[in-house]
Amino acid sequence: MSRRTNKMNRQMNAPMPSESRIDISSAESITCDKCGNHTFETVVLIKRISAIMSPTGQEALVPIQVFSCNACGWVNKEFLPTKERNEQEESTPTISV
Ligand SMILES: [Zn+2]
């Protein structure tokens, strides 16, 4: 509650607060898990919501923005929504008869 006031005061006293500047060079670069490339482009993953799950009772398509390697098109697991990751991990066959 008093946070906002503090921040405003600080901005008035110090015009360039160092904490608001992020040092990009020290940040971790994410690379493609498949080819090691480090540039990505935004792509859209589309989830189909079945009529049973949809609140409107109708099938719906929901776009989710993810990043794909712009060299090989691979989408790192860390970019995928959590559920998507689980589905991939669970796809390992464990059933034995
Ligand atoms: Zn790649």
Residues lying with their CB under 5 A of ligand 1, a single-atom ion? 32, 34-35, 37, 69, 71-72, 74
Beta bridge partners of 43: 66
| Per-residue pLDDT, 23 | 86
Give the separation between CA 33 and CA 95, rounded to whole angstroms: 29
Å from CA of 39 to ligand 1 middle: 8
40-49 and 60-69 strand pairing: antiparallel
In tens digits, the chain (97 residues) has pLDDT values of 555 555 555 555 555 555 667 788 888 899 999 999 999 999 999 999 999 988 889 999 999 999 999 999 999 999 888 665 555 555 555 666 6
**How much is the pTM?**
0.53
What one-character-per-residue DSSP string does 7-55 give? HHHHHHH-SS-GGGS--GGGSPPP--TTT----EEEEEEEEEEPTTT-T
| Per-residue pLDDT, 50 | 92
Q: What does the domain layout of the chain look like in residue ranges?
A: 30-97
| Per-residue pLDDT, 40 | 96
